[in-house]
Amino acid sequence: MAERHLHGAPPPDSEVAKRRRTAIAAGHSGDHATAIRLCADPEPVVRAAALGALARFGVLTDSALGHALADTAPEVRRRALELSIETSTNIASDISTGTGTGTLLDDPDPTVVEVACWVAGERTTHADQSVGPLTRIATSHDDPLCREAAVAALGALGHPDGLDAVLAGLDDKPAIRRRAVLALAAFEGPEVVDALEAALGDRDWQVRQGAEDLKHLAGRPGRETLPGYDN
């Protein structure tokens, strides 16, 4: 099983922790000035908390978000990506299309790539642009968590150009196979049917269960047929 990404940095010292608490508190009290000031703090954990504070009271601008997406610290870039979904259509769309801030799909830090894949999967209107980068990540990224996130995003988008990468995921590590079998629900064709049938014999019980659940849902009365299966 792929290990989850862990925080490798030591815990913040008392002064840094105090500034982080101040940033978090600013988000609840509406202290804009403090949150803005702490966005320039030398410590990444404080900057990330300050970004969240600005988002909480609705004053996180595209400019501030774009600056954070280019931050030298991965934890700040990750936090900015998470916030982009709710606070900035333009920024998140750039990430989905693989242009501008979308270069985060090629970020050197895999924890950032993982979150960028999630953002791209949430932007279904930009599937034509994001399916290529996501397919590349799903099939060739060194980090299995990035491949897993990309497969999940391809399932969320349901773009036909992503099918081959999802099918390839069925031959990857167990966690990726689990994502891939569920992602098949978004696709159609005989290769999808064949893949589901093969997944019923997977050595991982969760993959088998996912395939069985999809077949069961396809056969329920009143539900659209899963492509390739007849009610």
Parse the chain into domains and list their residue ranges: 18-60, 61-218
Long-range contacts, stretch 194-201, CB < 8 angstroms, 24+ apart? 195/167, 195/170, 198/170, 199/170
Residue 221: per-residue pLDDT:
46
Q: What is the mean pLDDT of residues 111-138?
A: 93
- Tell me: pLDDT of 229 over 90: no
- Measured CA to CA in angstroms, residue 92 lies from 14, 17, 52, 145, 147 at distances of 34, 30, 16, 21, 20
33 versus 13: which is more confidently predicted? 33
The pTM score is 0.84
What CA–CA distance (Å, rounded) separates 64 from 169?
A: 37
Q: What is the mean pLDDT of residues 153-174?
A: 97
Q: Which CATH architecture has domain 61-218?
A: Alpha Horseshoe (1.25)
- Tell me: pLDDT of 155 over 90: yes
State the pLDDT confidence band at 164, using cuts at 50, 70 and 90. very high
Rank 57-66, 93-102, 187-196 by mean pLDDT and report only the highest. Answer: 187-196
Q: What is the mean pLDDT of residues 73-101?
A: 73
Residue 125: per-residue pLDDT:
85
